[in-house]
Amino acid sequence: MNVYYYHRRKKKRYTITPYVSRVDIAGGVDNFYQTATIEISGSAGVPYDTGERVRVYTTTKKLLFEGRVFKCERNGDSSVSLTCHDNAYYLFRSEATVVSQEITLEKLFVRLVEEIGQKVGYVAKTKKNYFGLEFVGETRQAILQTVMAMERVETGKRYYIRSKAGRLELRERGAMDGVIIAKDSASEVRTTIDAQNTYTVIEYTGEIESGAKATGTSDTSSSLKTAADYKGPDTVGTRQGLGNSIAKTDKWNDLMVKVGKEKSIDPLFLKTIMTIESAGDELAIGPPTRYGQAYGLFQIIPGAVDTPVDANRLLNGEYNMQKAADIFLNEKGAAAKNKGVKMSVGEMAHFWFGYLQTAEALAYKKLAETIYAGFGGDPDSLITDPDKLPAGGDAKPDKNKGKISYEDINNFGLGTKLGVIVKTASGKHASKEEMANAVMKLRETLMREERTVSVALPGHVVGLAGRKVKFDTTIATAKGTWYIKDHRHTLDQYGHKMNLTLSKYDQTPEPEYSPPSNSEFGDEQPVAIKGSVLPIDKKKYAYTVGAYRFRTIVHYITGTVPHAGIDLLADIGTPLQAVTNLLILRNYYSNSYGWCIIAQGALGGGEKQFVYAHMNTMSPHKAGSYVKTGEQIGVVGNTGWSDRPHLHFEVCDPVWAQGITNKVDPEKFFDF
């Protein structure tokens, strides 16, 4: 082995291999990080201290461990013991608050790593989006474990996080071959069957809550038709690919049924209009018109309707659909009544376009009628016909609400073998299906014997917790596939060996996602729309400093530098407002920024961070607090590196970093 100790202040690497008597490196599936304990016979003038870096290599010069010293013990005989953790330890120790409108596991991983100043290595590509995630004061490791569990449920793929050469990586489990153990390589193989924590009977009582909502599901099960039921043409006039557009709206079926029941409007009509307007794209933003831009599922233009709408919420699917239903039933319904026109599918689609007698308006009406008829519907029928509302959902009292007791769940095989061992459990659920899944999970985890194998082998870098292991056929006591539950590598004068504990099941923790019951945003999702809310009201700042936009500038202190934001001139004390629903991350004084806020929120369909700099005083909003769109966040000042009162405003994607890194032009998102 070779062990190196790096001292930052002295800028020196020490080769401490001659003085190292033993190195133990341990890890397990419960945590992302590894811990190395290094026993050193004598200090030999090496300035050991916490925070310094250590690397351990095998005799074949492969890097086995890299981390920092977190504990340094000096003994009376001059020996030293170092406890070191690799960089994944920072995820275990660092807490975070995450409020995300829409994010993937991949982007969440990068964000949580970069926020604590760690370097990102290889990151597996993930496509599944998770909506409305909210974690408050949880460790970054727990947050990632939870979303990785959600990823496995949604996609069937397993991921793991590791530290490699000082960088944190997100990798897909199973992308590499497992470890094959041959009989002649294993010095010891011990198999264990443990029934000490096993139950043979589970008595379960569940309660179906009337107000409960299953995680990641809609409030109702729907019989609304899907793309598979559509028998109409794929092209109507200039509109092509209707089948694909309809398929993209299927994910909103449950919500359309729910809104249909609440508002007494035909859900299939809503599906038809959504297909035409956005093809189910919740974040769709239309081109500029004389009335403004159109937003969301039904492409609502705030300036073109009389119905009151909150522009900041139109990119929230449920809010947009609720408002569309209100517009159809009230505003457009009143217009139809005034013209003596019935509220049929075709006529209301015509009203949605503006009820003009132009070729475009009539083509829109024909398109809606064709799609609706393609589902077997009658385009001449009323959108308020109560017979069109599918059965199911939560608009009517659910006869299944209340407490439900399962019949005893027995494992007769184990019961015959071990006798009767009873576990009583209970829980609250949003549906019978959710309760059945919970019971199944209890059965899988509690009603089985734990089978493990302990094996001692020559050391190798592939011996890491979480990996698959197979034994060759000569080891009859440990057949089949196993998973490394934990590992311990020992390097000493006798060489490199490893001891692995294997389990018949992958025991990687999978915490269940449970959103906070007292969310600061309630039912609102953090959303920002271009031009909706500026950091300073447009009437209250003089102008933007032309040269001080997002470009290279000549700064009066630092010389030629890239300017990472935009400067807005305004009087001292001018209110600064939140451009979207924001979570305050930092509230501090900087020599350059002066009094400054760094906050996080959604903008342009993704999570961003925002900088408000040169404020006159400290903001009243503490780190960890929430500020809603338009709420005052501070006041304009002239603190820090500033030669006149102004706001320096930055947009960072996805997180703030020094210099120009991760900065994007604010004028891409705001009409200053």
The pLDDT assigned to 552 comes to: 47
Tokens of 232: 């109409």
Q: Is the dihedral of CA 346, 349, 355, 361 positive or negative?
A: negative
Residues ≥6 apart with Cβ < 8 Å to 337: none
Rounded-to-5 percentages of helix, strand, coil across the chain: 25, 35, 45
CA geometry: angle 57, 61, 62, nearest 5 deg: 70
Spatial separation of the C-alpha atoms in residues 268 and 224, rounded to whole Å? 7
Q: How confident is the model at residue 24 (pLDDT cuts 50, 70, 90)?
A: very high
The pLDDT assigned to 545 comes to: 47
- CATH label, 179-195+449-503, candidates 2.40.30.150, 3.40.50.720, 3.20.20.150, 3.40.50.300: 2.40.30.150
The pLDDT assigned to 320 comes to: 93
Q: What is the mean pLDDT of the chain?
A: 83
Interval 28-56 mean pLDDT: 93
Amino acid of residue 603: L
Residues ≥6 apart with Cβ < 8 Å to 560: 552, 553, 554
Q: Is 371 exposed, middle or buried (0-12, 13-18, 19+ CB in 10 A)?
A: buried
Spatial separation of the C-alpha atoms in residues 43 and 53, rounded to whole Å? 16
Which residue's structure tokens are 């400067």? 567
Contact in structure between 276 and 371 (CB atoms under 8 Å): yes
Question: 546-668, what's its fold?
Answer: Glucose Permease (Domain IIA) (2.70.70)
Question: 227-388, what's its fold?
Answer: Lysozyme (1.10.530)
The pLDDT assigned to 648 comes to: 92
Locate the domains of the chain by residue range. 2-86, 90-172, 179-195+449-503, 201-216+397-446, 227-388, 546-668
Question: 2-86, what's its fold?
Answer: Phage tail proteins - horseshoe like beta roll fold (2.30.300)
Alpha-helix runs per DSSP H in 419-538:
432-446
The pLDDT assigned to 527 comes to: 38
Read off the pTM.
0.54
Q: What pLDDT digit, counting tens, does each position of 67-121 carry?
A: 999 999 998 889 999 999 999 999 999 988 887 667 889 989 998 998 888 999 9
Alpha-helix runs per DSSP H in 472-555:
none
| Three-class SS of 36-52 | EEEEECCCCCCCCCCCC
Question: 90-172, what's its fold?
Answer: Phage tail protein beta-alpha-beta fold (3.55.50)
Residue 547 in this model has a pLDDT that exceeds 60: no
Residue 147 in this model has a pLDDT that exceeds 60: yes
The pLDDT assigned to 415 comes to: 80
The pLDDT assigned to 405 comes to: 56
Least confident of 73-77, 341-345, 426-430, 572-576: 426-430
Tokens of 9: 């202040």
385-404 per-residue burial string, b: 16 or more CB within 10 A, e: under 16: beebbbebbbeeeeeeeeee
Q: How confident is the model at residue 154 (pLDDT cuts 50, 70, 90)?
A: confident
